[in-house]
């Protein structure tokens, strides 16, 4: 079921409209709250209604409008329903933050990775991103005024892998290709597409890094993290640029994390 939180001064036609996938936790929650605080209307998409409701409640009163939509981005019918709900509620779409993703089984060598686990990561991280981008692209191309922006959540792993991360790393490299292709194809229609590659934002997914993460030399070592709010502010900056300008790729990471020189 979809739920809506409105403000007394809401004027849907005057607000920018965003879809944030994986909005129930972590980076997705932080970005959704940042946009809501800035007055955006935001569709919160995710598989579990309760965490999305918590995200909507975390935004301060007097901000934008939150619409929660239960959706598994790996299912084409769920994606179609998500963007249909956004169109029906808000009438247009200005931003897709393609954030939903999974790391998959952690620390599993490639020879031991079950095919089902590989397929789940690919379906979520790559196929889900494609399905959402395709739906957003169609709507942005046809709406009036035409155009919009898609920001894909890549990863430091889109550049340099961690040990035992073949499925995650492969999908994040593929996401870079998706970003470039969509960016090129969107030019005639005012659709700007960029990617943010994030390293060690402090979320539930990275909670173990401060106590110890497997390094390329086989050792386990603690790694620094950064405030996820810094990621959210970067996404908002990218989102609020005029469509004549685009951040094609941005890398936001904990300053001292082992990225440059990893391995």
User: Which residues participate in catalysis according to the annotation?
Assistant: 168
* Contact of 234 with 250, CB cutoff 8 Å: yes
Instruction: For residue 110, count other CB atoms closer than 10 A to its CB.
Output: 10
How many helices and strands in the chain, by DSSP H and E?
7, 10
Pairing state of beta strands 220-221 and 213-214?
A: antiparallel
How many residues in the chain?
Answer: 263
The alpha carbon of 26 is separated from its chain's Cα centroid by a whole number of angstroms, namely: 10
Structure tokens, 182: 């969509």
Place of tokens 């089984």: 105
Backbone angles phi, psi at 46, to 5 degrees: -175, 175
* Contact of 59 with 37, CB cutoff 8 Å: yes
**Across-strand partners of 253?**
199
Q: Measuring CA to CA, how many Å separate 180 from each of 3, 40, 174?
A: 34, 26, 10
Q: What is the CA radius of gyration of the chain?
A: 18
Structure tokens, 247: 């951040």
Structure tokens, 44: 């919160």
**H/E segment holding residue 54:** helix 49-58
With a CB cutoff of 8 Å and minimum separation 6, the contacts of 12 are: 41, 65, 89, 90, 91
């Amino acid at each position: 079921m979809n739920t809506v939180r409105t403000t007394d001064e809401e004027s849907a036609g005057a607000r920018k409209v965003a879809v944030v996938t994986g909005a129930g936790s972590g980076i997705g929650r932080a970005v959704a709250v940042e946009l809501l605080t800035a007055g955006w209307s935001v569709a919160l998409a995710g598989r579990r209604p309760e965490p999305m409701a918590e995200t909507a409640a975390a935004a301060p009163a007097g901000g934008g409008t939150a619409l929660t939509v239960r959706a598994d981005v790996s299912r084409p019918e769920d994606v179609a329903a998500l963007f249909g709900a956004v169109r029906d509620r808000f009438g247009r779409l200005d931003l897709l933050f393609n954030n939903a993703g999974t790391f998959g089984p952690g620390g599993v060598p490639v020879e031991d990775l079950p095919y089902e686990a590989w397929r789940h990561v690919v379906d979520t991280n790559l196929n889900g991103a494609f399905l959402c981008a395709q739906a957003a692209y169609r709507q942005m191309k046809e709406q009036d005024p035409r155009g919009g922006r898609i920001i894909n959540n890549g990863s430091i792993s889109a550049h340099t892998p961690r040990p035992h991360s073949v499925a995650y790393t492969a999908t994040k490299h593929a996401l870079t290709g998706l970003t470039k292709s969509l960016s090129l194809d969107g030019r005639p229609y005012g659709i700007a597409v960029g990617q943010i590659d994030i390293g060690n934002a402090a979320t539930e997914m990275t909670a173990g890094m401060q106590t110890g993460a497997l390094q390329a030399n086989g050792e386990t070592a603690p790694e620094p993290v950064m405030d996820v709010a810094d990621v959210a502010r970067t996404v908002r900056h990218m989102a609020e640029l005029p469509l004549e300008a685009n951040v094609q790729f941005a890398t936001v990471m904990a300053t001292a994390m082992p990225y440059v020189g990893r391995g």
